[in-house]
Structure 1
Amino acid sequence: MQPVYINHIASIHPDGKRIESESGRYYLAACEPDYKAVIANPTLRRRMSRIVKMGVACGLQCLGDIRTEQIGAVITATGWGCLADTEKFLSSLIDNDERMINPTPFIQSTFNTIGAQIALIRQIHAYNMTYAHRGLSFESALTDALMRIDEGDEQVLLGSVDEITPASHAVQQRLGLLKGNITAGEGAHFFLLGKEPVNRYVPIISDVKTFIGLHPADEVSKRITAFLDRNGLQSSHIDCFVTGKNGCAPQDAIYATLEEQLFPQAAHATFKESCGEYPTASAYALFRVAQDCIDGTHSGRIVLIYNHYQSVNHSLILIRKP
């Protein structure tokens, strides 16, 4: 595939904001903007749930003043979907004995709501797709976006969004998904990808790869080496290795092994201490790398992001600085 440029970025993410749960543990909550400044229609804004407002506002901020006819696709990703609306619908189902249920929360809980709302507000009559592939949701959407541009689209709006609620946080704890020191989180992140750069400072996405399964470190190392080889690179060429360490020692062990054995010469960075753990957290990693490149604060030219979700969903994203 041809290089794809990250021309604009936007993010709504935690900035040190913590919410303490009933169990005494805390999770990271997104610092939301003044939605009135982004979503002008008060009636529309009032009908939106929190996650929809968060995703739509982030997407509109990323689009800026760009002409809608230039957008070839709107592609979004979510691992959990609209949790608050789902909870509201299920609670209504129980409270009303499964009779005379208000369908609005169910309709608004569908995963494609955010991408559809962005398209309706900006009148983008183009390809619109949402991916809900657990820990590979964002990478699946990114792969689709790269293919769309490779097939002729000039620009694609790509985004991800996931929310956390007190109830979902409690459920994750009961299921053992927050073992060790894992801190749950949430966020919305959007990228305007283009076939051509808007300036010479924007970062380039060279490749993305996903794989699934419980793999030992040596198997993951082989897959990373093969991924680099198909891009004409060796491990020594990676200037910065970004990993999804989340505080759980068993899950972090594979990252530590790769840092020591495969990328000992590279700078090592993490991101989940800022955004928390959730299915599409890798989108925040891409946002951070892109922001550093655009701001000129990133020293390395070639960056590799490796993340796994629950040790099962693995992804690799290769970024180059111009």
Structure 2
Amino acid sequence: MKKLVLYVLMISSSFVFAQSTPRVTAKVDTTSIRIGEQFELKIEVNDTTNVIIPKLDKLVGLEIVEDDKIDTIKSRLLKRYVLTGFDSGAYYIPQQQIFIRNQAFLTDSILINVATVPIDTTKQKMFPIKSIQEEPYVFDDFKPYLIWVILGLLLIGLLLYFILKKKKIEEQEEIIPLLPPYEEALEKLKVLDHKLLWQNNKIKQYYSELTEIIREYIEKELKVPALEITSDELINYIKDFKDAETLDLSKETFEKLKGLLQEADLVKFAKSKPLSHEIEEDRKDAEDILNSMKPKPVIEEEDDELE
């Protein structure tokens, strides 16, 4: 009787010990596949407490198709993979290290045979090897070129726009006939008046343009470089013309010209600021100078025709 009880206790303790010992297994649904076929790998752990199943690695000749999440089935953990192979040969699924309560356990390695698919050449007609086929073009292939084409068209459009606009302006511009020097000078004086330069405290610019009108007129009428010489040199030129009686200019007009040129030099170089009535007087003197130097009309004497 004692021996029977002892025997039962030993069997019970062995069973409890076996149940409490962690155990890991790895199995596949087939060990032989053809190229491209898929098979299933399952890793089971008979424990659920503090278990770590690392990612399947160190595969050679085999590829993972699916990697499912770990399932808990009662008191077991199940990890499922779907694998395949694309090269014929024999390949091992190496031992996988599973950690249970910080203790490492190894699965068995599994040999997988990947076989080629036999071809029955008596039934299957053989075709020649096809050349490499190029991928069809898509919109993204042309996008970089399309951007440059659009930019080029825009540039051409802008150039045509400005060319046509310039041509239109030129066509609309009236051809202004050349005026005689005296009339041209009077027109420039009117334009100068409308600018209101000295009224806006631009006195230096005003005197520069005023004397330039007088100098340009003298240069065209007397054929002297009035725009390029100094005021003193210009006065000497005018004095020589007057002394030689080639220019009919009164002493009063000569003094006005001399005073206007000297006043302009003071404004431009000595920063002089004449008063309003002085500026208006200089403007009047400028017109008087032009009137006094205006060419006299040529009167042609008609000879009586001899009968």
TM-score relative to the length of structure 2: 0.21
Higher RCO (C-alpha under 8 Å, 6+ residues apart): 1
TM-score relative to the length of structure 1: 0.20
Higher helix share: 2
